């Protein structure tokens, strides 16, 4: 019993995003020392997370992640560590692209976090006739990236999703609806999930395109466009769900079923 508990403790390591990590370890190997001089990272490690010498931390960017043991924390920004491992990040398969409608601010941010947390590969933002948010790449992109990174730190999904700027639903369907990928629109009037699981397995596609409606759902005309691109209509539950809840449930189910 004690051995199991100890293993569990060892696996609970903090993961921290470092944008320049790939460059910092480019010529490093396991057993080498690495130093970072970053006041914000130092503050977070020492004051927020209360990390100390001898503890192990994971650092990552979208390309690699390393495990390192803290050797010393000096001054107000100097972090010295010993590298224990260097690994390339792995993109989860099959590849899942989620067409995410622009939701109201809080729901939108919750949906972003959930999609990164469950392991979606790409998030394509989509504007619909009932979109509750006006996306601005200049204004909103940096905050969205911070949300995705926070989800990656928590979930250890270091290959967190690529976020693509908003386009209209029509353009998204034109771009993503051409191939033979498994394409699913989650709609309360669709077929039950258990009916579709054998078909999904049978297709054995390495790419999936998933879509949910915004608050208030897609219009009838929009649903006709979706159907015309050979999307499978699938009901998640016998009830009508909020868009943000449907987003998390749909992505989580697909990643779990096809892991």
- Domains with residue ranges and CATH for the chain: 2-88 (2.40.240.20), 95-257 (3.40.1280.10)
| pLDDT on residue 6 | 38
DSSP 113: H
Name the least confident of 91-105, 172-186, 190-204, 230-244: 190-204
List pLDDT tens digits, range 14-34: 999 999 999 999 999 999 999
| pLDDT on residue 193 | 86
| Total length of the chain | 259
More confident residue, 192 or 151: 151
**Residue 10 pLDDT greater than 60, yes or no:** no
Angle at the Cα of 75 from the Cα atoms of 73 and 81, rounded to 5 degrees:
25
List Cβ neighbours of 186 (8 Å cut-off, separation of 6 or more).
210, 211, 212, 213, 234, 235, 236, 246, 250
State if pTM tops 0.85. Answer: yes
List pLDDT tens digits, range 45-61: 999 999 999 999 999 99
Distance in angstroms (rounded) separating the CA atoms of residues 185 and 209 = 9
Q: What is the DSSP string of 157-215?
A: --SPPEEEEEEEHHHHHHHHSSSS-EEEEEEEEEEEHHHHHHHHHHH--SEEEEEE--T
List pLDDT tens digits, range 167-206: 999 999 999 877 788 999 999 888 888 888 888 888 777 8
Per cent of the chain over pLDDT 90 is 70
Cα 259 from chain centre = 15
| pLDDT on residue 12 | 64
Determine how many CB atoms are found less than 10 A away from the CB of residue 120.
Answer: 29
């Amino acid at each position: 019993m004690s051995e199991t508990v100890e293993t569990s403790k060892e696996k609970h390591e903090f993961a921290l995003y470092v944008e320049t990590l790939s460059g910092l370890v480019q010529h490093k190997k396991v057993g080498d020392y690495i130093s970072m001089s970053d006041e914000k990272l130092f503050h977070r490690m020492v004051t927020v997370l209360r990390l100390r010498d001898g503890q192990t931390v994971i650092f990552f960017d979208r390309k690699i992640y390393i495990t390192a043991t803290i050797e010393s924390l000096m001054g107000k920004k100097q972090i010295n560590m010993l590298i224990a491992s260097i690994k390339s990040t792995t993109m989860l398969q099959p590849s899942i692209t989620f067409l995410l409608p622009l939701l109201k601010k809080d729901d939108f941010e919750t949906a972003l976090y959930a999609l990164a947390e469950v392991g979606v590969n790409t998030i394509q933002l989509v504007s619909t006739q009932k979109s509750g948010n006006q996306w601005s790449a200049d204004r909103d992109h940096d905050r969205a990236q911070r949300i995705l990174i926070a989800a990656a730190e928590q979930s250890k999904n270091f290959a967190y999703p690529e976020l693509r700027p908003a386009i209209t639903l029509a353009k998204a369907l034109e771009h993503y609806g051409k191939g033979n990928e498994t394409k699913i629109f989650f709609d309360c009037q669709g077929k039950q999930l258990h009916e579709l699981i054998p078909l999904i397995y049978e297709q054995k596609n390495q790419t999936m395109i998933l879509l949910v409606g915004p608050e208030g759902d897609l219009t009838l005309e929009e649903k006709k466009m979706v159907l015309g691109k050979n999307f499978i209509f699938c009901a998640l539950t016998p009830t009508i769900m909020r868009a943000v809840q449907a987003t998390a449930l749909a992505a989580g189910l697909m990643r779990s079923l096809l892991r």
